Structures are given as C-alpha cells and as structure tokens.
Amino acid sequence: MIDKNTAQKLLQDFLSIESITPNVKEAFDFLEDIFKRYNFEIHRVKFKLDDSYEVENMFAIKGNGSPHLCYAGHADVVNPGDYINWQNPPFSGKIENNKIYSRGAEDMKGAIISSLVAGINYFDKNVNTIGTLSYLITGDEEGLAINGTKPLLEWVVNQGYKIDHCIVTEPTNEDMIGDTIKIGRRGSLSFELDIQGKQGHVAYPKKARNPIPFAIKIAREISGEIDKGTEDFLPTNIEFTSFDVNNTSHNVIPDKAKLKFNIRYNDSWTENKLTEFLENIFSKHLEDNSINWQLNKISNADVYHTSSQGLSNILSDSIFRKTSLRPKFSTFGGTSDGRFISKYCPVIEFGLVGRTMHQIDENITLDDFQILTEIFDDFLVSYYSK
C-alpha cells in the first residue's frame, strides 16, 4: 500500500526529474522502479519514424483476463523557458502553501502518479481481482507525437494484448476536480491554399491577374462556423492563420497569394468530406475564373467520440461520491492522444484542473492530487466489480 505521505513524496520526486521531449529515460527509470516493486510486467519500447528523433515509451501491465483497463499518459513535458522567470526552479518539485510547483505538474505528471497509486493500492487490497490493469505512457506527446502513443498501441496489439477501456489522464477539469470528463475531441485539419495569379503593374490591372480579391472572397465565404454543431460537439470552425503575397512593392500586382487556415471539426465531418467541401468552393471562385490553385494538407488529427454511457457513467458516479459534483461531458479543447486510442477501444479523458499547464510556475494543489487519487481508487472498485 502507498499512503498519502508516500504518494506525495513520489509526486515530488517525479516532478524533480527533467523530462523535456524526448528526454524521458530518467523519468521512465523512476516509474519502472515503482512498477517493479509492485510486480507489474514492464516493457520499454523505442520508436524512430523517418528522420525524426528516437523516443522511448513504456507499457506496464498487471493482472490477467478481461476487463482490461488502461491508463494512458505522457511523461514528457514542454520546455519551461527561461528559468529566471520561475518563482522556483521548474524541476524543483517545491511545495509552498499546499501547492507543488514544477513543469509538468498539471500536464500530466501529477495525474500519472495519482493513477499509479490508485492502481497499486487497488490490487494490494483486491488480490483476487479478475481483470487487467495497464499503463501506457509515452515520451512524445508534447513533441511531434509520431513516435509515441500511436506506434506503442500497434506494438501492444502485436504482443497479443487487448485493451477494453482507456482513461487518458489529461487535465480536463476547468475550475475544480470533478467538473469535466472529456468524451471526445474535435478533429483538426490545417491547410495551405496557393492561388496563382499573374504579376503586373498596378496602373495596368487588365494586363495582370490579381490573386488577392479571389483570396479575400474565399476567406469571407469559409471563415467562421460552417455548421450548427452536433449533440456533443460545437460547430465546426475555420480560422485563418496567415495571408501572404510575398510582395514588398507598392506598384506591383503580386503573382500569387497563400492562405493558411485550420479547421476544428465535429463528428459530422471526415477529412475527405471537408476536403471535398473546400475544393468545391475553391473551384467556384477560382477555376470558373481560370485561376490555377493548389490545396495542401499540412496536418490532421481525427475527431473521436465515445458514448456518454458506460465508462463515462462509472467515472461520473465515482466523482460524485468523492466530490458531490456531477461532471459535464465535454468535447471542447485541442487534440489529444485519445484520437489514437479511440481506434482500439472506448476512451475518455480525466485528470487534474487545467489552470496553469504550460505556464510559468505551473502547479497543482496537494488537495487536488489527493482527491484525484481517491476518485481513481473508487473508480477501480466499481470498474472491476461490473
């Protein structure tokens, strides 16, 4: 068993380890030592896609049979920036006024330790449990996210493991522990649209082909919300991030224009449907006016959605028992590794409060850490008794 004081010491020690993407070896050494003490089977797997950096990942597992619950997270953290701006060194794990300060405290080392302590304590108290508990932890969530959760899941499946349900321990709560469970995430598509005009003198516009008016018409038509949303998702929204013509002259009509934009889309769309939607609009404005254009996809993260029944309700009941709060089910926010996991099993997200993640003096309260641990402990009791 791991008591409250020991859990806080584990948290403090874990936060004291610098683990900026992809340098997570020391963090995984620390976690492996804990898992081994409590008889988890440990796998440390490295991936390196193409010309990217090599990343180490961890899969720890205990128990046997179904149901198989997996806690997923990341041990890597974002760069803290200039240390001089921090009240305390960003990897000190300093405790002041019931708060613990460190890069990664909220996102997401605190929740990793909470879920780890809850899992260890549950199996210590319930040695005859039928079922499996695992921890899928990457070192590449804050980086390119190509050498982490996605290939690690493929590795897990190839080893013969089958995960039935998963909780990603992202900092989902907005104001207090227990107010929000993520049951999905919007998709994200980034594009660049190149419009080819014809250069010319501003005094002779008929001898040129100015791409700017066409770019403006397109931006006006697609900017903002393009649907009314769905039951669990906000409206799909398009935001422009750059409008560039690479022209420093005041008397020259440019020969090209580039629009950059991002789409956050709900579960009524797919990448192909969105691309077709855009191409039809661009054809109307450009091809019908004999303007050449090219649309390039820069990045994509699929939308995912888990029903608000089942796993979400079990966790909601645990939250209510420990906090008297009924969490809302949300899909708002940026992308997460849940998009990869959703292709294998139902996945939801729940962790600490997202007050200071990626900020100077990132911190969590020790009370929040303890409550989250208690919620996870209660959840495991309910999950394995179903």
Residue pair 118/376 in contact by the 8 Å Cβ criterion = yes
Q: At 115, which amino acid appears?
A: S
Could you give the CA distance from residue 146 to residue 42 in angstroms, rounded to a whole number? 22
Structure-derived torsion over alpha carbons of residues 226, 227, 228, 230, reported in degrees to the nearest 10:
-130
DSSP conformation class of 255: S
Could you give the CA distance from residue 226 to residue 237 in angstroms, rounded to a whole number? 6
Smallest CA-to-CA distance from 196 within 263, 162, 161, 245 is with 245
Could you give the CA distance from residue 106 to residue 104 in angstroms, rounded to a whole number? 5
Q: CB neighbours of 258 closer than 8 A, spacing ≥ 6?
A: 192, 193, 194, 195, 242, 243, 244, 245, 246
Q: Quick one: three-class SS letters along 304-363?
A: EECCCCCHHHHHHHHHHHHHCCCCEEECCCCCCCHHHHCCCCCEEECCCECCCCCCCCCE
Could you give the CA distance from residue 53 to residue 302 in angstroms, rounded to a whole number? 23
Query: Which residues are part of the catalytic machinery?
Result: 76, 141
Give residue for tokens 């205990």: 62
Tell me the Ramachandran region of residue 65: left when phi exceeds 0, alpha when psi lies from -120 to 50, beta otherwise: left
Residue pair 22/79 in contact by the 8 Å Cβ criterion = no
